[in-house]
Chains A and B, each alone.
Chain A
């Protein structure tokens, strides 16, 4: 146990054992998957048409926003190049995985996903949903991987307040809708509603992704630090599909991003069709 906790010699053992228990997990996941399959194949034509229309509208809106974003990104890169900044961007390959509907230890915030080292997942890989960061992978087996959510009491994530740029660390609390920010000085500028984004320090999480929103700030002049709480943006207990992100290959300082390819992963492509 000490070996497992302190070092990582036993990862291969765990990976092997995870193959052994995969049939069980698959079996438990089966009712949910078949239910979803039936719902999909029994959907009426009208439902599908409605869904199609709404998705088309949504895509139009998103594409419009993306155009603006692209222009901004180009401008940002140009300005940074003028300043001789060494800021680097790259396209990040992404892969969509699905949650297995199995329960883990109720006192740990962990989830099991249906992709593993066969899909080139690696330990420590960040996990996102459409709203924000969800967590990171802690064990990777050939077919499945275990992820720790950002609300697990032993998880910490480096964040930055989007409005002011103040860097700090958000700790998990053990309740699914709350993060703690214990290291913010009393005189720091934090307000309710501030968005916390990943700062990218530590190199594990990609910078600039939303993590949480500040929901309460208590500034007691007698204390050195204020008590700040935040609510995670990602739907930690409701998402079924999750996104896995690979770090970009480093590109030349001029900023010409080279599209990198991870087999089996679709490259995120900001260019409009």
Chain B
């Protein structure tokens, strides 16, 4: 697909590690349920930026690690992150040219899809239905998407990741 050599894999890894650290960093109880899904946001960015490098496989691995970190069923996050990665890689050409607000909306839909899938699996194994606040992380994630996009773009340009 591309003849240029891959660069900056370490930056991608570090960004995922940072996202996972943010995911498990201790927060006060009132804020815990508001934490946006950092790993999903990072994954969406890299899928949009480098769909030929970061795609379903990376999403699956990141999801497995996330499952171990958060103590969920092994494969729960892996499945939903793979789905997001697939959609992003499939639609990346379209999403890239969207204006920022529209991109944020698309990201919100992806995040909600991710949460919906997790919720579905959780209810299949008989866990109780959480309150409506369960969906807030998706809204917050969409709200901070522009910042994440610019931050990671900066990283990508500075370290010429491709």
- Beyond A1-B74, A25-B69, A106-B33, is A153–B24 a contact (Cβ under 8 Å)? no
When chains A and B are docked, how far (Å) is the Cα of A10 from the Cα of B64?
Answer: 12
Contacts of A101 in B (CB 8 A): 26
- State whether the Cβ of B71 lies closer than 8 Å to any Cβ in chain A: yes
- State whether the Cβ of B121 lies closer than 8 Å to any Cβ in chain A: yes
- Beyond A10-B74, A105-B72, is A17–B35 a contact (Cβ under 8 Å)? no
How close is A215's CB to chain B, nearest CB, in angstroms? 21
- State whether the Cβ of A110 lies closer than 8 Å to any Cβ in chain B: yes
When chains A and B are docked, how far (Å) is the Cα of A106 from the Cα of B20?
Answer: 15
- Beyond A1-B121, A20-B65, A153-B128, is A28–B76 a contact (Cβ under 8 Å)? no
Contacts of B70 in A (CB 8 A): 104-105, 108
Contacts of B33 in A (CB 8 A): 106-107
- Beyond A4-B73, A5-B125, A108-B72, is A103–B21 a contact (Cβ under 8 Å)? no
Q: Are the CB atoms of A108 and B71 closer together than 8 Å?
A: yes
How close is B153's CB to chain A, nearest CB, in angstroms? 24
Q: Chain B: how many interface residues by the 8 Å CB criterion?
A: 33
- State whether the Cβ of B127 lies closer than 8 Å to any Cβ in chain A: yes
Contacts of A10 in B (CB 8 A): 74
| Residues 1-40 of A contacting B (Cβ, < 8 Å) | 1, 4-5, 10, 13-14, 17-18, 20-21, 24-25, 27-28, 32
Of B35, B69, B121, B130, chain A has the most CB atoms within 10 Å of the CB of B69
How close is B130's CB to chain A, nearest CB, in angstroms? 5
- State whether the Cβ of B101 lies closer than 8 Å to any Cβ in chain A: no
| Residues 132-178 of A contacting B (Cβ, < 8 Å) | 138-139, 146, 153-154, 174
Contacts of B25 in A (CB 8 A): 28, 102-103
- Beyond A20-B65, A27-B21, is A104–B71 a contact (Cβ under 8 Å)? yes
- State whether the Cβ of B126 lies closer than 8 Å to any Cβ in chain A: yes
Contacts of A153 in B (CB 8 A): 127-128
Contacts of A21 in B (CB 8 A): 20, 65, 68-69
- Beyond A24-B21, A153-B127, is A105–B74 a contact (Cβ under 8 Å)? no
How close is B21's CB to chain A, nearest CB, in angstroms? 6
When chains A and B are docked, how far (Å) is the Cα of A225 from the Cα of B10?
Answer: 60
How close is A237's CB to chain B, nearest CB, in angstroms? 8
Q: Are the CB atoms of B69 and A110 closer together than 8 Å?
A: no
Nearest A-chain residue to B75, judged by Cβ: A1
Q: Are the CB atoms of B64 and A17 closer together than 8 Å?
A: yes
When chains A and B are docked, how far (Å) is the Cα of A154 from the Cα of B23?
Answer: 23
- State whether the Cβ of B144 lies closer than 8 Å to any Cβ in chain A: no
How close is B92's CB to chain A, nearest CB, in angstroms? 28
When chains A and B are docked, how far (Å) is the Cα of A20 from the Cα of B64?
Answer: 11
Q: Are the CB atoms of A5 and B20 closer together than 8 Å?
A: no
When chains A and B are docked, how far (Å) is the Cα of A112 from the Cα of B130?
Answer: 22
The contact string, 1 if C-beta is below 8 Å from chain B, for chain A 92-107, is 0000000001111111
Nearest A-chain residue to B128, judged by Cβ: A153
A sample of 17 inter-chain contacts (CB < 8 A) reads A1-B73, A1-B75, A5-B73, A14-B68, A17-B68, A18-B68, A21-B20, A25-B69, A28-B21, A101-B26, A103-B23, A103-B32, A103-B35, A104-B71, A105-B72, A107-B122, A139-B71
New A-B contacts (6) at CB < 8 Å, excluding given A5-B125, A104-B24, A110-B71 = A1-B74, A17-B64, A17-B65, A17-B68, A24-B21, A101-B26
Q: Which residues of A contact B (CB under 8 A)?
A: 1, 4-5, 10, 13-14, 17-18, 20-21, 24-25, 27-28, 32, 101-108, 110, 112, 138-139, 146, 153-154, 174, 237
Q: Which residues of B contact A (CB under 8 A)?
A: 17, 20-21, 23-27, 29, 32-33, 35, 64-65, 67-76, 79, 121-122, 125-128, 130, 134
